[in-house]
Amino acid sequence: MKKIRILKAVLIAIALLLPLSALARGIDPIVSTDWLQKNLKKGNLVIVDLRKVEDYQAGHIPGSVNVFYGSWAIKKGDLLNELPLVEDLADVIGGAGIDKNTLVVLVGKTEKIPEQFDMTRVAWTLKYMGVPNVAILSGGITQWVKEGKPVSSEAVRPKAKPFKATVNQNLFIDKAALAGKIGTAIIVDTRAPAFYEGKEKLEFVPKTGRIKGAVNLPVGQLFTPEGLYKSKAELAALAEKAVGKDLAKEIILYCDTGKTCTGWAFIMTDMLGYKDVKVYDGSFMEWAADASAPVE
């Protein structure tokens, strides 16, 4: 009888620990400049600077490697910010010295709105390729320099590692699949309200409007006035207001090109615990070009 009670206690302990291990990450999804400065020499850490090579050469975080954003997202036909081939991405990842045990911190500029999301688009792509421990530097290199933290002009040549992708196809969705989800999934337009309401559009987007049934959750709400990420509690409240508290509900996010919407996608999955979040890669640029795609 005593043995049975002990066994039950062990099983209960394991059951309680399982959810924690399932959520375990080797690194927080958003890291501060202070945290990064203290961990620059961490053994399995790779800092990836996503800026152009001339910006990297002019001064970068010590120890960071340079892999320009254009290596991670490409133009396909008229569409911007599309996924490269899996084998090409694998070469980029391995060439940066990243494997599935690496802690990756992504660094980019944050002066302009599109630049703020270089980091999240690459983070989402790394998740798609099966790299689990990815973080974004809050405020990017912009905040690092603003705080007077050390920079280096010494280029870092990473030691390449073999990388085999474990692709998570569930992180992206195409136009045909999205069309079949209208009315069942929560579709989220992450653009500014004027774009969501059809009052404005970017020059390269065919027409104004939004995907039928979409709710609005602007990416601008992610940040403080200083350009840093808001607290987890603040972000959770904003997400819940738009999509609800059901963490298992299917959520599909889009913007104009499939880049800025990854800001909320990354936060929802890696910080807030939403389980089924997808990015529509073609986004409104592709949707609006199809006369048969329903628009409001």
* CATH number corresponding to 169-287: 3.40.250.10
**DSSP string spanning 143-167?**
HHHHTT---B---------------
The pLDDT of residue 24 is 54
Give the predicted TM-score (pTM) of the model. 0.90
For 60, the token pair is 């970068």
The pLDDT of residue 114 is 85
Q: What is the CA radius of gyration of the chain?
A: 20
Q: How does 37-67 read in b/e, with b if 16+ C-beta sit within 10 Å?
A: eeeeeeeebbbbbbbeeebbeeebbeebbbb
C-alpha to C-alpha distances, 60 to 140, 155, 222, nearest whole angstrom = 11, 9, 25
C-alpha to C-alpha distances, 159 to 95, 138, 150, 248, nearest whole angstrom = 7, 26, 23, 39
The pLDDT of residue 5 is 45
Of 38, 41, 42, 60, give the one whose Cα is nearest residue 51: 60
Query: Residue 108 and residue 28: Cα distance in Å, rounded?
Result: 17
* CATH number corresponding to 25-146: 3.40.250.10
The pLDDT of residue 50 is 98
**pLDDT digit string (tens) for the chain, length 296 residues:** 444 443 344 333 333 333 333 345 789 999 999 999 999 999 899 999 999 999 999 999 999 999 999 999 999 999 999 999 999 999 999 999 999 999 999 999 998 888 899 999 999 999 999 999 999 999 999 999 999 999 999 999 999 999 999 999 999 999 999 999 999 999 999 999 999 999 999 999 999 999 999 999 999 999 999 999 999 999 999 999 999 999 999 999 999 999 999 999 999 999 999 999 999 999 999 999 999 999 99
Q: Are 34 and 17 in contact (CB under 8 A)?
A: no
DSSP 8-state assignment for residue 295: B
Helix (H, G, I), strand (E, B) or coil at 37: helix
Tell me where in the chain the CATH 3.40.250.10 domain(s) lie. Answer: 25-146, 169-287
Q: CA neighbours within 13 Å on the CB side: how many for 194?
A: 5
